[in-house]
Amino acid sequence: YHLISAPVVDDDDRLVGVITIDDAMTVLDEEHEEDMLRLSGVNTDSRVSDSALATARQRLPWLVANLFTASLSAMVIAQFERTIATLVVLAALMPIVASTGGIAGTQALAVAGRALATRDLNRSTAPRVIRRELIAGVLNGLGLALILGLVGMLVFGDPRLGAVLAMARSEERRV
């Protein structure tokens, strides 16, 4: 209604106060900050005055989860030891593939997190959002695969390397 203030009433509809747009914006900012901290795996009660031990305790569960998923990635990479030994440059280029995959995942998470915070994501909209993110991921994966494959082929002069990089990029994005 474009109001700059609104009445606050109790259960008996008696006026108990007024909330201004400034107050509403303060609450909105606080909720936004809390959502962003939760998405990052940081305790919402964290403050700059917290001790190092308290901070470490709060972050450790997320870091352990990351360690577990990174270990799974290492096990998958180990399966390709012979291929990596044949094309040693692959070891140097693997972080590029992993990084773009991580950034794409973070982007999708940020969009979903915002949609959850604004209540735009619910049971009825979830299938459409998931489908959109999957299609966007495949399109971006194919585009980056083409770019990375061409760069790998032109810079290193090996069409096999370009093909491997392109396939790795497109497969990672589909996962």
The alpha carbon dihedral of 137, 139, 144, 149 has a sign of positive
The list of the chain residues with pLDDT below 70 reads: 39-48, 169-175
CA angle 107, 175, 106 (to 5 degrees): 15
Query: What residues pair up with 17 in beta bridges, in sequence order?
Result: 8
pLDDT reported for residue 39: 67
The per-residue pLDDT for 113 is: 77
Closest CA to 130 of 107, 112, 155: 112
Give the integer Cα–Cα distance in Å for 137 and 134. 5
Q: Please, what sign has the CA dihedral across residues 45, 50, 54, 60?
A: positive
Q: What is the pLDDT of residues 79-122, one digit of tens each?
A: 888 877 777 777 777 788 778 777 887 788 778 877 877 888 88
Are 35 and 117 within 8 A, CB to CB? yes
User: What's residue 174's pLDDT?
Assistant: 47
Q: What was the pLDDT predicted at 13?
A: 92
